[in-house]
A and B are shown apart, each in its own frame.
Chain A
Amino acid sequence: MITFDQVTIHYDDAPEPALRDVDLTVEEGELCLVVGHTGVGKSTLLGAVNGLVPHFTGGTLYGRVTVDGRDTAHHPPRELADVVGVVGQDPIDGFVTDTVEEELAYAMEQLATPPATMRKRVEETLDLLGLADLRHRALHELSGGQQQRVAIGSVLTAHPRILVLDEPTSALDPTAAEEVLAAVTRLVHDLGVTVLMAEHRLERVVQYADRVLHLPGDGHARIGPPADILRTSTIAPPIVELGRAADWSPLPLSIRDARRAAVPLRARLADRTPDPVRPAPAEDRARLLTARGVTVTYKSVPAVREVDLDLHAGEVTALMGRNGSGKSSLLWALQGSGPRRAGTVKVTEPHGRAGTDPHTVTAARARTLVGLVPQTPADLLYLESVAQELDQADAESGTAESARAILDRLAPAIDDATHPRDLSEGQKLALVLAIQLAAAPRVLLLDEPTRGLDYRAKTALIGVVDALAAEGRSVVISTHDVEFAARAADRVVVMAEGDIVADGPTADVIVSSPVFAPQTAKILAPLPYLTVAQFVDARSAASGEGTAHDIT
């Protein structure tokens, strides 16, 4: 279906080619997963399938890409629209019309499909993706998962043989992501559509993949069965890491297979209590922020309802919940610059003065009390270079440590002259963090920082967050990523419809939940393990004891 023949893609301003000598064939009806770190050319590879690279993006393509027998060199993307359907990361960016039904028909109108056929296909697609109830709704009032399903449907109506999905779930909460992935697998199994999909959070999709295409970062590509490729790849979901650590062969890729493989392991570990993921916080931690009865409403629709929350020094809190459950509103209200209808927020200041409300003081003062990194960090960046941004941060609130020093600590080796827009998502986050930390707030709130980060960047973020907590700050991270929360947080707060529905130590809150439990917990339940690292420690301790026992 898709053939890459000695393909090298070189962007004009890049020193190295983005892809080098890629040879691959994707067969019909296959679900092929593209994995790799940020910036290794995943989007380039996906874009090359329908000719967006290089027709739209520029650059030079050597070699030959053929799709269903058509050479992309001679067919621009619009001429391939009947063969390849492309769905991007943020569905709302690709919408041309404004209601579900018209959006579904758009591609067919361009392809000059006869009206009767169009009508029939729209009805079929509505049913196929479970959108029938939404057909007259405006696109912007749908939830993220619904929007993404409409986006998939809008390319499906043209009956493409190939579907290219570039991180379709990265903006979605776990439930919405499941919804979209279920729709995709259904297409593969029921209709035999060929799917090429890039995804950061492998734990969700790896079990559905027929083959995995791994881009190690040097421009080459390796393709093979998931179990083979993932055994050695640099990125792997927790289930694979666990499988590697336990030497399971073949490598299980679904929770069910892993649980069956783990039966003897669970028996062996049954009488051990694992070490906690993170060192237990001290008992006498100072309370840095006290919120009582915080209520936020938008046009009298409550977003946050009378929430009480205490934040302590040296504590990392994960704030979880579906999209629209009030997480962002709560963070903005705690910082003081967002609206707050009722309630009090008191922040303890370092010099003993207790109880300053960040909402009542100036913005400059509020940011020395509570720092907030918004969902789109780039909103804070407006100058031409990293150096200018950092200088501006120092000028805005000069404290003991310069923003440059903080940035070097968080993410070393970011060049001064780089334009902030050219940074990767992880680097942008680090830059904005450094700018916010220049004001030395003791409470730091991060609104969905894990969005768009790969495994490596997430691990780096955990390191940063740990360091901040060790300095005695209190860090709150709102996130959908359960694996991240399991590794990074001391405490998890779950929100639903503006209420806090669960608040407690990470292990207690997420192990018991079917939605929020990390993969390790699902595999090793009822044992209270959360991360692979915990398991590795426990096993080496066990084998150590075991050996000692054997000797005596």
Chain B
Amino acid sequence: MTAVTRTTVAAPATGSGPSPDAGGRRLPRTLHPVAWWVWALALATAVSRTNNPLLLFLVLAVLGYVVSARRTEAPWARGFKYYLYLALTVVAIRVVFRAVFATGITPRDHFLFSLPHIPTPHWYAGIRIGGPVSLEAVLSAATDGLRLACMLCCIGAANTLANPKRALRVLPGALYELGVAVTVAISVAPQLVQSVQRVARARKLRAGRTRGMRALRGIVVPVLEDALERSLRLAAAMDSRGYGRAGTATRRSRRITGALMLLGMCGLCAGAYGLLDATAPAFLGLPAMGLGAVLCVAGLRLGGRRVTRTTYRPDPWRLPEWAVAGSGVLSAILLFSNLGYDPAQLNSTFYPLTWPGLPLVPTAAILLAGTAGVVAPPPGPVQRGDAS
């Protein structure tokens, strides 16, 4: 834990300044992408537990701090503000819908404003459109929206902090082809767009039609031929650079892999069904799920053996990775444990309208997740995969 104590000293100097800090005495490096994802998903899980607006705002503050402290200057790392816009939109939509499809108002509620009531036909009587809107309704819609927005921002933070492409590289060996397909697709898409633009421009030279079905053919045929030729050349290039060299797999081990994966998937499906359907027999629930997961993992491991590859500059998993992932998971556990606080405090009440409390343990748990911004090493000035 030496690394952690040392940085707590360096942290105040860095603060939550606008630019990523230089990180005091620690060497800048990128954190393992999986650590960020675990941290963010755990935080999102924790968020799903509460709709206390104070706690939610605290989560947003923590996300903002960690992102601003540990993001890089790469293009994909500039996206957090778009997630914030998206979050605002979610809240707004939630509030507007609640106001328009009003559920009525009771004498005890605080009247806020009234929308013109649109009469609906009798066979549509279940839904009212317009009418008086209460403060309580708006607030509860806003906090509901805020919870969803917080979860969105968690995902956004993971995307901002970890290079999505590097995250793909940690896929198990058996899924390596899937990762390659995604990478190639990502790089081919812009080329396809360019190709369409080029051909559409060339169409004009022949004064061909630029609209309608016949024009479509004039554009689609050359673009597809182009794309096909290009992918053949890419396949040839990948082949001659050693892609898909045979590993140690034999026909038998391939069959076993297939069988394990198939059984594992069946187990997972049965488990999911058992968990969701209360009337299902008990053995279909967690036991089937667990068995399925074990089989799948075994299949992946066995399948991974047939791919003999190494990774260039693999991301190490060291103390900071444990600390970051652990801080996220710990806060989720604390919010689910109900230890040392009243679970009712996690959910604010609107009927009657009361000021939400700030329970000590959940607050501490969320702040604990915020330490990720300190325990993670600072990102370097130039990141690998910057320009992706």
Contacts and interface: CB of A to CB of B under 8 A. Distances in A.
Interface in B359-386: 382-386
A138 B183 CA distance: 14
Given A109-B309, A136-B386, A382-B221, A81 B207 contact: no
Given A81-B245, A96-B237, A118-B312, A136 B207 contact: no
A274 to B, nearest CB: 39
A85 B218 CA distance: 38
Interface string B308-333: 11111110000000000000000000
Contacts of A372: 205
Contact of A99 (B191, B225, B239, B387): B387
Contacts of A101: 312, 384
A102 interface: yes
Given A52-B240, A94-B237, A96-B180, A136 B384 contact: yes
B318 to A, nearest CB: 16
Interface residues of B, number: 54
A113 B308 CA distance: 10
Interface string B224-263: 0110001001111111111111100000000000000000
B222 interface: yes
Interface stretch (B108-116, B144-152, B194-202): B194-202
B240 A115 contact: no
A109 B311 contact: yes
B217 interface: yes
A417 interface: no
B208 A78 contact: no
Interface stretch (A308-316, A359-367, A452-460): A359-367
A343 B242 CA distance: 53
Nearest to B201: A337
B198 A78 contact: no
Interface residues of A, number: 73
Nearest to A337: B204
Among A108, A109, A155, A393, chain B packs the most CB atoms within 10 A around the CB of A109
Contacts of A138: 386-388
A80 B244 CA distance: 12
A136 B241 CA distance: 21
A260 interface: no
A82 B237 CA distance: 14
B309 A112 contact: yes
A109 B310 contact: yes
Contact of A95 (B165, B187, B202, B204): B187
Nearest to B205: A372
A406 to B, nearest CB: 15
A203 B323 CA distance: 62
Given A79-B245, A86-B240, A97-B183, A382 B234 contact: no
- Interface residues of B, dominant DSSP: helix
Contacts of B208: 396
Interface string B12-56: 000000000000000000000000000000000000000000000
B107 interface: no
Interface string A359-382: 000111011000110101011111
Given A90-B233, A94-B233, A96-B180, A84 B202 contact: no
Contacts of B384: 99, 101-102, 136
A17 interface: no
A119 B312 contact: yes
Interface string B170-211: 000000000010011011001100000011011111111000
Contacts of A56: 235-236, 239
Nearest to A366: B207
A521 interface: no
A238 interface: no
Contacts of B245: 78-79, 81, 110-112
A115 B205 contact: no
Nearest to A99: B385
Contact of A114 (B201, B235, B310): B310
A78 B238 CA distance: 8
B234 A94 contact: yes
A88 B237 contact: yes
Nearest to B312: A105
Given A94-B237, A154-B241, A337-B204, A115 B388 contact: no
A396 B204 CA distance: 12
A94 B183 CA distance: 13
Among B187, B217, B222, B241, chain A packs the most CB atoms within 10 A around the CB of B241
Contacts of A109: 309-312
Nearest to B195: A379
Nearest to A49: B240
A234 B313 CA distance: 51
Contacts of B314: 115
A98 B244 contact: no
B205 A367 contact: yes
Contacts of A122: 312
Given A380-B205, A396-B208, A77 B183 contact: no
Nearest to A57: B236
Contact of A155 (B241, B310, B383): B241
B312 A78 contact: no
A22 B207 CA distance: 49
Contacts of A85: 240-241
Contact of B240 (A84, A95, A118, A337): A84
A378 B222 contact: yes
Contact of B387 (A80, A98, A335, A435): A98
A455 to B, nearest CB: 25
Interface in B274-312: 308-312
Contact of A364 (B207, B219, B309): B207
A381 B242 contact: no
Contact of A110 (B191, B233, B309): B309
Contact of A107 (B183, B241, B382): B241
Contacts of B388: 98-99, 138
Contacts of B309: 109-110, 112
Interface of A: 50, 52, 55-56, 76-82, 84-86, 88, 90, 92-99, 101-102, 105-115, 118-119, 122, 136-138, 140-141, 154-155, 158, 332, 335, 337-338, 362-364, 366-367, 371-372, 374, 376, 378-382, 393, 396-397, 421, 435-436, 439
By Cβ-Cβ distance, the 8 closest A-B pairs, closest first, are A81-B242, A94-B237, A138-B387, A105-B312, A110-B242, A379-B202, A364-B207, A382-B221
Given A158-B241, A376-B198, 12 more contacts: A78-B241, A92-B191, A94-B234, A98-B388, A99-B388, A106-B312, A115-B313, A154-B241, A332-B201, A338-B201, A378-B226, A379-B222
17 contacts: A56-B239, A78-B239, A78-B240, A78-B243, A78-B244, A92-B191, A94-B241, A119-B312, A136-B384, A136-B385, A136-B387, A367-B205, A378-B222, A379-B198, A382-B217, A397-B207, A421-B225
